[in-house]
Amino acid sequence: MEDIKAYIETGILELYVLGDISQAEKLQVEEMAEKYPEIKAELAEIERSLEAYALENAIEPPVHLRERVLNSLVTSFANDDSFPTKETTEIFYDDRIIKDNVVALSTPKANNFYKYAFAASMLALIASVFGLFSLNNQLKESNEVIASLQTKNTSFANQVNYIENEVDVLRDPEVKVLKLQGLPKAPGAQLTVAWSPKKKKVMINMEDMKLAANDKDHQYQLWAIVDKKPVDLGVFDAAKTDTAGMKQMKSVANAVMFAVTLEKRGGVSSPTMDQMVVATKI
């Protein structure tokens, strides 16, 4: 007990608190404080009084300094509150490690972002290429459909035109519809001729024509008898052509008879009488 009191009175505890002793003495004081509660209590008293003395001599820092100091701490150790572990404490101990740590944390984040962004844009690119292809195909199909519809439309329009012509001819009260009947050479043959003497217009109906098919060296030739002489009204084929409902022949004003002969292709200047297939008088 005497020893402890003497130890306290050397004033070493005061120097300890003031940080004014060697490392060896420091360890000794700490050892003593652990062993003897009196020494520990004495140290606490000295500390408390010096702290109070410092408070008496305190100088209030300017208001702006608070912000500056807090910012410098918060900035240096930003985000640390999301890692309140002992490891983090150690990491933050060394400035150099702090910097390394910040870099290590932020780098993979940035990497991931660009990775995902790249993957997303590749995906978008592939999707749009597919989209473009499928759209292109659809466009092609649509164009084909439109083309075929246009063709059909044209052919319909043509057909309508022919039918209209036909109807016009048949409705015209001036027009005479003549049935040319088969002669002994071709008993079943038949041809309808529409003739408008006023308009000098002659047409043959290809639809209900009943004539033997001609070969490629021969054609049928239509004749009109005018003033007892045969007049050439043009040649035609027995085979139906897709454009034909009514076929317009050469003009004639006053005929007394119509007849058809089978002649060599292109027609002849005067009919071969024994090749006459159909005829009718008016």
Positions that interact with another protein (CB under 8 A):
9-11, 14-15, 17-20, 30, 33, 43-63, 65-70, 72-74, 76-77, 80-81, 83-84, 88-90, 92-95
Distance CA 275, CA 260 (A): 8
Judged by CB, which is closer to another protein: 66, or 265? 66
Sequence-distant (6+) residues with CB within 8 A of 245 are 162, 163, 165, 166, 205, 206, 207
* Cβ at position 69, least distance to another protein in Å: 5
Judged by CB, which is closer to another protein: 72, or 143? 72
* Cβ at position 29, least distance to another protein in Å: 9
* Cβ at position 38, least distance to another protein in Å: 15
* Cβ at position 107, least distance to another protein in Å: 23
Judged by CB, which is closer to another protein: 13, or 233? 13
Q: For residue 169, give the nearest of 246, 100, 265, 253 by alpha carbon.
A: 246
Query: Do the beta carbons of residue 12 and residue 21 sit within 8 Å?
Result: yes
The dihedral built from the CA positions of residue 136, 138, 142 and 147, taken in this order, carries a sign that is positive
Alpha-carbon distance values, 159 to 132, 164, 203 (Å):
40, 8, 17
Alpha-carbon distance values, 45 to 40, 52, 142, 176, 263 (Å):
9, 11, 99, 145, 148
Give the amino acid at 106. Answer: S
Judged by CB, which is closer to another protein: 97, or 104? 97
Judged by CB, which is closer to another protein: 20, or 164? 20
* Cβ at position 78, least distance to another protein in Å: 10
